[in-house]
C-alpha cells in the first residue's frame, strides 16, 4: 500500500526540498524557527536539504497545500537541483493532497509527522519502543486509508478492477485494526509491569528528566549518576525510559528517569502510543526540565515542553529549570536569561560544571517532596 507514512528517504543524502507555509496567525519568526527545526528533522532522518522556502498564504490549498501554481513554477527548479523528496512543514497531510503534488512533480511528498515517525522508528531499540512506534504509525495511517482507495483500485489493471481495489482496502483496514488491538494488548502488559516496578520504588523520591529533544538530558544523568546512557548529538537519540540512582549530597540519593524528548507539534499518535513511557513523568515527584542554552528559540522550547507536560498531566509542585550548555553562550546572554528565569540553574552537563548548584536545587526539591510525602527522610 502506498501510504505516506512509509515513504521516508530510502537512502542517505536524498535531495530534499522543504516548504513552510506562513498562515495569517503565524509570525515570520515562528515560520523560520519551524523551518529550521524541520531541517534538523530531515537531516536526522538521513535526507540532504538542498533548498527550503517560506511562502505566505491565507489558508492551505485543499488540493495542493501551497496551490497548483506554486508547484508548476517550482518544477524546473526541482529538475535542476535533482530534488527527489518534498517535505512540507504540515502535520496532517491528506492522501489526496500528497497524490496531487506527486503526480504534478513526479517526486515523493511527506509531512512533518511522517518525518518524526520515521526518526522514532529508526531510534527505537527496545521491543517496547518498537511496538510504540508501530502503534503510532498504524494509528496515523488507519484514518487515511480511504484516501488511497483510488490508488489501490488502479492496481487491478483497469476496467472492472474497482471492486478488487475496495476489497484490498478493506483487507488492509482489518489487518491494521487487528494489529493495533494486538499491540495495545502487549503494551498494556508493559504498562502493568511498569506500574509494579514503580510500586517497588515506593518510598524513594523520583525525578523525571524532561525537556526539548537534544537538550542534553541523557548527558546530565550520566554526569549525576556516573552512568553511561546512550548519548548522541541528534534529535530523539533516546526513546526508552531509563532510571538511575544518583547521589545528590547530604547522604541522599534520588532516582533519575530519562524520558523522550519533546518537540513542537509532537504528533498526538506518538503521545498516545508512548503512554507507558510518559507515565514515568506523571508518576515522578520532581521534574527536572533541561533547556539547551544554545537553542535557536529558548522561550519557544520552554513553552513547548510546558504545554506537552500539561497535556500528559505532568505538572508538578517541584520543578527545576536547568539551563544546559551554558558554556556555549555569552555572559550577557546568560544574565538576560537569569533575569527572565530567576530560579533557574545554569551549567554544562558535558563539562560537569554547575553540578553543585544543581545538586543544591535537587536537595531543596527533595526536602519539599519529603516534607509532603515522606517525612521520615528528613529525620535520617
Q: For residue 196, name the pLDDT band (cuts at 50, 70, 90).
A: confident
- Residue with C-alpha cell 534529535? 235
The answer to whether 87 touches 111, Cβ cutoff 8 Å, is yes
- Report strand pairing: 14-22 vs 85-88: parallel
How is residue 353 annotated by DSSP?
B
Asked if residue 109 lies in contact with residue 93, where contact means CB atoms within 8 angstroms, the answer is yes
Closest CA to 219 of 229, 207, 234, 208: 229
Instruction: Report the SS3 class of residue 320.
Output: strand
Q: Is the pLDDT of residue 5 over 50?
A: no
User: What pLDDT score was predicted for residue 45?
Assistant: 85
CA 366 vs CA 146, 159, 240, 279, 355: distances in Å: 52, 71, 25, 20, 16
Question: Does residue 8 carry a pLDDT above 50?
Answer: no
HSE, side-chain direction, 13 A CA sphere, residue 240: 18
Give the mean pLDDT of the chain.
Answer: 80
What is the predicted pLDDT for the residue at 128? Answer: 79
d(CA 200, CA 255): 12
* Beta strands at 108-111 and 206-211: parallel, antiparallel or unpaired: unpaired
154-186 confidence digits (pLDDT tens): 344 433 334 444 456 677 888 888 999 999 898
Output phi, psi for 294, to 5 deg. -95, 10
The pLDDT assigned to 64 comes to: 94
C-alpha cell belonging to residue 324:
544546559
8 Å CB contact between 146 and 169: yes
Question: Which residues neighbour 94 within 8 Å (Cβ) at sequence distance 6 or greater?
Answer: 144, 147
Joined grid coordinates for residue 276: 507507558
Residue 233 in this model has a pLDDT that exceeds 70: no
Residues 210 and 322: their CA atoms lie apart, in Å, by 10
Per-residue pLDDT reduced to its tens digit, 108-137: 899 988 888 888 887 777 787 788 888 888
What is the dihedral sign for C-alpha 209, 213, 215, 219? Answer: positive
pTM score over 0.85: no
Amino acid at each position: 500500500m502506498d501510504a505516506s507514512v512509509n515513504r521516508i528517504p530510502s537512502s542517505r543524502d536524498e535531495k530534499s526540498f522543504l516548504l513552510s507555509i506562513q498562515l495569517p496567525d503565524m509570525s515570520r519568526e515562528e515560520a523560520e524557527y519551524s523551518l529550521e527545526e524541520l531541517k534538523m528533522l530531515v537531516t536526522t532522518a538521513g535526507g540532504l536539504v538542498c533548498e527550503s522556502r517560506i511562502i505566505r498564504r491565507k489558508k492551505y490549498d485543499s488540493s495542493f497545500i501551497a496551490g497548483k501554481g506554486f508547484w508548476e513554477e517550482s518544477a524546473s527548479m526541482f529538475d535542476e537541483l535533482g530534488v527527489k523528496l518534498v517535505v512540507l512543514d504540515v502535520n496532517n497531510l491528506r492522501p489526496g493532497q500528497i497524490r496531487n503534488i506527486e503526480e504534478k512533480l513526479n517526486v515523493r511528498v511527506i509531512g512533518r509527522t511522517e518525518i518524526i515517525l520515521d526518526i522514532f522508528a529508526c531510534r527505537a531499540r527496545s521491543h517496547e519502543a518498537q511496538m510504540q512506534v508501530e502503534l503510532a504509525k498504524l494509528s496515523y495511517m488507519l484514518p487515511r486509508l480511504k484516501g488511497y482507495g483510488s490508488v489501490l483500485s488502479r492496481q487491478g489493471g483497469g476496467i472492472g478492477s474497482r471492486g478488487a481495489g475496495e476489497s484490498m482496502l478493506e483487507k488492509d483496514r482489518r489487518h491494521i485494526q487487528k494489529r493495533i488491538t494486538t499491540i495495545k494488548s502487549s503494551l498494556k502488559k508493559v504498562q502493568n509491569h511498569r506500574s509494579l516496578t514503580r510500586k517497588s520504588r515506593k518510598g524513594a523520591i523520583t525525578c523525571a528528566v524532561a525537556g526539548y529533544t537534544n537538550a542534553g538530558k541523557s548527558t546530565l544523568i550520566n554526569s549525576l549518576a556516573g552512568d553511561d546512557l546512550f548519548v548522541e548529538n541528534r534529535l530523539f537519540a533516546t526513546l526508552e525510559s531509563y532510571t538511575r540512582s544518583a547521589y545528590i549530597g547530604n547522604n541522599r540519593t534520588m532516582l533519575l528517569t530519562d524520558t523522550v524528548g519533546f518537540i513542537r507539534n509532537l504528533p498526538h499518535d506518538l503521545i498516545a502510543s508512548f503512554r507507558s513511557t510518559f507515565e514515568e513523568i506523571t508518576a515522578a515527584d520532581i521534574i527536572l526540565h533541561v533547556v539547551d542554552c544554545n537553542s535557536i528559540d529558548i522561550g519557544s522550547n520552554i513553552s513547548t515542553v510546558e504545554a506537552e507536560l500539561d497535556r500528559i498531566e505532568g505538572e508538578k509542585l517541584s520543578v527545576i529549570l536547568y539551563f544546559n550548555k551554558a558554556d556555549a553562550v555569552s555572559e550577557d546572554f546568560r544574565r538576560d536569561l537569569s533575569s527572565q528565569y530567576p530560579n533557574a540553574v545554569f551549567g554544562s552537563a558535558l563539562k560537569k560544571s554547575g553540578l553543585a548548584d544543581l545538586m543544591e536545587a535537587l536537595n531543596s526539591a527533595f526536602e519539599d517532596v519529603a516534607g509532603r510525602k515522606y517525612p521520615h527522610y528528613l529525620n535520617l
